[in-house]
Amino acid sequence: MSRREVAQAAALGLLGLVVFFFHLGSYGLFEPDEARYAEIAREMIATGSFIVPHLNYVPYIEKPPLLYWTTSLAFYLLGTTEFAARLVPALSAMAGVVATWWFARRTFGYRRAMLAAAILITSPLYAAMAQVLTTDMLLTACLAVTFFSLFLQWREGGRWWMVSYLAMALAVLTKGPEGVVLPTVAAILFLQRRHELKGALARFHAWGGLLIVLAVSLPWFVIVAARLPGFLYFYVVGEHFKRAFEASYSHDQPFYFYLPVIIAGMLPWSICMPLLTRGTRGSARSWCGCSAVVVLVLFSIANAKLIPYVLPALPLLAVLLADSILCAVENGGAALVKWLGPALCIGGIGAIVFAALAPMIHNRDIALLPRVIAVSGAIILIGGLWSSWELWRERFERGLAIIALAAASVLIAATYGRIDVQALHSWAPLARAIQSRAPSATLIDYHRYPQAIAFYTRRRVLVAGPFLSELSFGAAHSADRERYFPATDSDLIARWHKEQSAVLIIDQSDYRRLAPQLGPARIIASQGHKLAVAREPG
């Protein structure tokens, strides 16, 4: 690489760091996922139990432990903060960008690598999930390395198979069997299309790879199965087969759910998706296409669908889009590329108008975001005008760079929106108020389990009532279930009067109903519809 190319790559990497890390620790952990996963990691350090994950000090085994282990390490090194909690997703996002850039440069060339990385950094879905503590970004990074190194093993041989199987094992430890299923099905489809299935086991060192995957990932499953009766049925049948095939089990959505998610999640670049029919003819493009299709189709077949599940397809699609856009530019078919700028102008004007109409829209989030939406619209409009000037003069490299810079600026501005709406999506303010005003009181949640209460107060919480949700399995395997999970209102009232000092976290409507039985009490904090009620002495 020339000095100019090194400087450009470094600038792109710096842009990724800014997009992924800006305001990373400036707002409270959102409910439910962020606070839940952060609390599990915190409890690992607090209890010293790193094998069986615990939530509210009862077993929680819906996910394998890699995210909790790495987040615990971040807490140990940096303290138990929001920044440390989100550090692993942000670093994983950066690792996915590096893997995508490196693969594209090795297989498609420098220009396509730069554009692929820029597309990935500035795709709204990817950038947003880089700042959210869930398993999805860590899984995406592991699968990106798996997909890319498997192709290099097919093309070049050597020891890429070791890298791919190690990354595959880490994907299994992040989220489960999909870490093996997705790349395996993609490889079979790719080889079948090329009539090369014969000899594939030897070519990919399948038996040695199987040993790597089992050696790295299997011990945790075996140990937990030995310690927790019912784990295998709960995890394998409930969390995978039922989640995939029973519409009523969890997050049921139609088959086409991920198509609009991909289009919206990769704007403005998804405007060029019609160009995907063009591109460099070669095995690398075929591999990325097969892998992206497998991710989209298998997740679409499953009944349980959430927006972040499709995230592993984005690095593959970024490579395909970069190749398609530059092929159109190089071969005189860049008409659609030229319309990226005007499309941005339209989007910017639309955002500004939407911000002006925000007070008329009955939505709590939008009511808090008109300023952020207006600023974002202005950035989009300016970027659209500037890039249009460059693209229509056929200065494509400069025009695409301006689009990437404008998209990154909008993503950075959007982080202020998360700060503005945190009171609607995080119980951190309520939890901090409780911690400051009742630092040693027994905490009781009524009919809900706000995940952040335990994390910010550093205490175990009693959960009163039948609503256990994700705590159901752990509560059933907890020796102190009766003490920490009072099942009825009568049990709650008895426990309330038994405690020397207690705080009840309860909805306003429920408090009005139970107030006569609770006796003398005072509200020490509130947030939205939720109250923190403390017992009065005597």
The pLDDT score that the predictor gives to residue 251 is 59
Q: Is residue 55 included in any domain, yes or no?
A: no
Rounded mean pLDDT, 128-153: 96
- Residues 168 and 258: their CA atoms lie apart, in Å, by 24
> pLDDT per residue over 456-507, tens digit each?
999 899 888 766 677 877 777 777 787 888 888 888 888 888 888 889 999 9
Q: How many CB atoms lie within 10 A of CB 51?
A: 11
Contact 461, 521 (CB under 8 A): no
Residue 317 has pLDDT above 90, yes or no: yes
What domain range includes position 369?
339-421
> pLDDT per residue over 50-62, tens digit each?
999 999 988 888 8
Residue 162 has pLDDT above 70, yes or no: yes
> pLDDT per residue over 102-114, tens digit each?
999 999 999 999 9
Q: Which of 300, 331, 362 is the last residue of a domain?
A: 331
Residue 247 has pLDDT above 70, yes or no: no
Rounded mean pLDDT, 219-227: 91
Rounded mean pLDDT, 270-278: 89
> pLDDT per residue over 334-345, tens digit each?
788 888 999 999
Instruction: Report how many domains make up the chain.
Output: 3
Contact 463, 412 (CB under 8 A): no
Let me know whether 281 and 346 are in one domain.
no
Give the pairing type, strands 442-446 and 461-464.
Answer: parallel
Let me know whether 118 and 204 are in one domain.
yes
Residue 356 has pLDDT above 60, yes or no: yes
Q: Which of 378, 393, 421 is the last residue of a domain?
A: 421
The pLDDT score that the predictor gives to residue 400 is 94
Q: Is residue 43 included in any domain, yes or no?
A: no
Q: Is residue 50 included in any domain, yes or no?
A: no
Cis? peptide before 315, omega within 30° of 0: no
Residue 250 has pLDDT above 60, yes or no: no
> pLDDT per residue over 12-50, tens digit each?
999 999 999 999 999 999 988 999 999 999 999 999 989
The residues pairing with 304 across neighbouring beta strands, listed in sequence order, are 252
Q: Which of 224, 254, 226 is nearest to 239 (CA)?
A: 224
Let me know whether 253 and 323 are in one domain.
yes
Let me know whether 366 and 472 are in one domain.
no
Let me know whether 17 and 148 are in one domain.
yes
Greater pLDDT, 250 or 292: 292
Contact 474, 60 (CB under 8 A): yes
Least confident of 75-89, 128-142, 380-394: 380-394
Contact 70, 88 (CB under 8 A): yes
Question: What residues contact 88, with CB distance under 8 A and at least 6 apart?
Answer: 67, 70, 71, 74, 133, 137, 138
The pLDDT score that the predictor gives to residue 241 is 61
pTM of the model: 0.93
Q: Is residue 37 included in any domain, yes or no?
A: no
- Residues 319 and 316: their CA atoms lie apart, in Å, by 5
The pLDDT score that the predictor gives to residue 245 is 58
- Residues 125 and 418: their CA atoms lie apart, in Å, by 14
Residue 97 has pLDDT above 90, yes or no: yes
Q: Is residue 201 included in any domain, yes or no?
A: yes
Q: Which of 331, 350, 371 is the last residue of a domain?
A: 331
**Mean pLDDT of the residues in the chain:** 90
Residue 244 has pLDDT above 70, yes or no: no
Let me know whether 227 and 346 are in one domain.
no
Q: Which one of 160-164, 202-206, 361-365 scores highest in mean pLDDT?
A: 160-164
Let me know whether 417 and 432 are in one domain.
no
Contact 532, 526 (CB under 8 A): yes
DSSP 48: -
Q: Which of 195, 182, 132 is nearest to 316 (CA)?
A: 182
Residue 157 has pLDDT above 90, yes or no: no
Q: How many CB atoms lie within 10 A of CB 436?
A: 11
Rounded mean pLDDT, 278-287: 86
The pLDDT score that the predictor gives to residue 467 is 64
Let me know whether 482 and 372 are in one domain.
no
- Residues 290 and 316: their CA atoms lie apart, in Å, by 9
Least confident of 95-104, 238-247, 433-442, 474-483: 238-247
Burial of 106 (0-12, 13-18, 19+ CB in 10 A): middle
Let me know whether 417 and 431 are in one domain.
no
Let me know whether 198 and 299 are in one domain.
yes
Q: Is residue 39 included in any domain, yes or no?
A: no
The pLDDT score that the predictor gives to residue 447 is 83
What token pair was written down for 43?
């409890």
The pLDDT score that the predictor gives to residue 252 is 63
Let me know whether 521 and 434 are in one domain.
yes
The pLDDT score that the predictor gives to residue 38 is 96
Rounded mean pLDDT, 141-162: 94
Q: Is residue 75 included in any domain, yes or no?
A: yes
Residue 152 C-beta-side C-alpha neighbours within 13 Å: 23
Least confident of 128-132, 215-219, 286-290, 389-393: 389-393
What token pair was written down for 195?
């009539």
Q: How many CB atoms lie within 10 A of CB 90?
A: 23
Let me know whether 286 and 147 are in one domain.
yes
Q: Is residue 47 included in any domain, yes or no?
A: no
Residue 249 has pLDDT above 60, yes or no: no
- Residues 355 and 376: their CA atoms lie apart, in Å, by 10
